[in-house]
Every structure is written in structure tokens, then in C-alpha cells.
């Protein structure tokens, strides 16, 4: 049975320490995690538990919610932090479980591309949505 | 070890739903007809249990994240890791059960 110190000695040089970037990534996960805790719990409580939950959600509900600046800001913050937190978490999972350089490159490139596309799509929707421009809306 | 596995699993699952959720919300940009059609699916009996599962994942991931914060930033945190893990499990249940009740009730009472 291999012990943790044995694995550590085999794979880490004594003088090595985590890169600056990796330390920031560690810190970011904790800070964004605290903020997300409140944003996500609030979002889930409003959308799924209280006030009839998902029953009442339709186009009109979203249009009313996004009529002001507050919920657009809330939702954008939620989008940005959850995407970055989630993508960074998935990156760590890839780096932990895939040892071959080829697989890592393919998976990480796809992850970053997907994250970018969905982040862009979500941001565009939050910032450009205008109910009065919709057929049958507003 | 199980906390670590569940944390990863729930995190990846929530991220997967996040991608889907961005797609469905972007339907508001196409007008009420498309958006309302999709949201009806979420309210139906197929998606509802999956939303309850999502709720469980989100609650566990949040509370286990708090446990990680405590272990990382409180010098004595690691000493209480067993109690903390038990606390995460109990609190997850305490928050999840009432939430699941409210989420599933509309399927049975109309």
C-alpha cells in the first residue's frame, strides 16, 4: 500500500510549490463559493420553493423581473460567477483524472470553448432582452 | 473521501444543468411562444423530479463548500472534520426535505 508521503515524494520536487496562478484559483473558488452560496440559494428559493415555485414562471414573469436593473445585475452576477466557478472546478477534475497530454488538451479546450460560448450567450440575453420588441410580448 | 466524490459529482452535474439553463433562458430572446413551451416541460412530471435532484446537489455542494472553507481557514477545523461532515449531512437533509416537499406538492395537489 502506497502512503501519501510516498506519492508526494515521487511526484513533487522538494523545492516545488504551487504556482501563483494555482493559488489564486484556490482562493477564487473559496471567495466565489461564498458569494454563490447566497446568490444560488436565493435563486433556488425564489424560483423553485416559494410563491408557487416553477408553476408561475413564464415569459411574462421573466419580462417583469428583467424590467429593472436589480434582477438583471443579480442574474448576470450569478451567471458570471457560476460559470467561472464551475469551469474552474471542471478544469481541476480534468487535471486530476486525465494524465495523457492529448486528452487533457482536447477536454480543456472544449471546456474553455463551451464556457466562453455559453457565457457570451447568457450575457447577451441578460443585457439585450427587451420584452417590447417581442411578437406578442410587452 | 465520499464528501470529495460527492462534491465533484454534484459540482459537475450542476454545471451541466447550468449549460442547459442558459440555453432555455435564451429562448426568451425568441419570444413568449418558444420560452413558454419549454418552461412547460420543466413544470411537467418528467423534469420535476430532476429539479428536486438538482436542489439536493446544490444544497449539498453549498454546505460541503462551507465545510471546506472552515477546514481551510479555521486552524482547528481539521480536528473537527468528523463532526463537520456529519453536520453537512444533517443540514443538507434539514434543508432538502422541506424544499422537496414544496417542489413536488403541485404535482399531487392541483
**Prediction ipTM score:** 0.89
User: Which of B19, B65, B102 lies closest to A53 in CB terms?
Assistant: B102
- Which of the four pLDDT bands, split at 50, 70 and 90, describes residue B33? confident
**Spans of all domains in chain A:** 19-129
Class of A19-129 in CATH: mainly alpha
Show residues of chain B in contact with A83, CB under 8 Å.
18
pLDDT tens-digit readout, B49-73 = 899 999 999 999 999 999 999 998 8
CB contact under 8 A, A58 and B39: yes
pTM: 0.86
Contact residues on chain B for A90, CB-CB shorter than 8 A: 11-12, 15
HSE on the CB side for A83, CA within 13 Å? 23
- The pLDDT, as a whole number, for residue A135 is 64
The domains found in chain B, sorted by start residue, are 2-108 (1.20.1300.10)
Cell of residue B80, nine digits? 473537527
Going from the C-alpha of B98 to that of each of A10, A70, B59, B64, B91, the distances in angstroms are: 49, 28, 12, 19, 12
Amino acid at each position: 500500500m502506497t502512503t501519501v508521503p510516498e506519492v508526494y515524494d515521487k511526484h513533487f520536487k522538494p523545492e516545488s510549490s504551487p504556482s501563483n496562478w494555482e493559488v489564486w484559483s484556490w482562493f477564487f473558488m473559496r471567495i466565489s463559493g461564498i458569494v454563490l452560496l447566497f446568490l444560488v440559494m436565493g435563486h433556488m428559493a425564489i424560483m423553485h420553493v416559494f410563491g408557487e415555485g416553477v408553476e408561475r414562471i413564464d415569459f411574462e414573469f421573466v419580462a417583469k423581473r428583467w424590467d429593472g436593473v436589480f434582477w438583471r445585475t443579480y442574474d448576470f452576477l450569478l451567471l458570471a460567477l457560476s460559470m467561472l466557478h464551475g469551469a474552474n472546478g471542471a478544469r481541476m477534475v480534468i487535471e486530476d483524472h486525465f494524465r495523457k497530454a492529448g486528452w487533457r488538451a482536447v477536454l480543456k479546450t472544449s471546456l474553455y470553448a463551451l464556457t466562453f460560448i455559453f457565457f457570451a450567450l447568457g450575457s447577451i440575453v441578460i443585457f439585450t432582452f427587451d420584452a417590447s420588441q417581442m411578437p406578442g410580448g410587452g | 473521501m465520499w464528501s470529495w466524490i460527492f462534491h465533484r459529482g454534484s459540482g459537475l452535474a450542476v454545471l451541466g444543468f447550468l449549460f442547459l439553463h442558459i440555453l432555455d433562458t435564451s429562448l426568451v430572446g425568441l419570444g413568449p411562444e418558444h420560452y413558454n413551451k419549454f418552461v412547460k416541460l420543466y413544470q411537467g412530471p418528467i423534469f420535476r423530479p430532476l429539479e428536486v435532484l438538482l436542489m439536493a446537489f446544490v444544497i449539498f455542494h453549498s454546505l460541503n463548500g462551507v465545510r471546506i472553507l472552515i477546514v481551510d481557514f479555521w486552524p482547528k477545523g481539521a480536528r473537527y472534520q468528523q463532526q463537520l461532515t456529519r453536520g453537512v449531512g444533517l443540514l443538507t437533509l434539514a434543508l432538502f426535505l422541506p424544499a422537496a416537499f414544496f417542489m413536488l406538492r403541485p404535482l399531487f395537489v392541483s
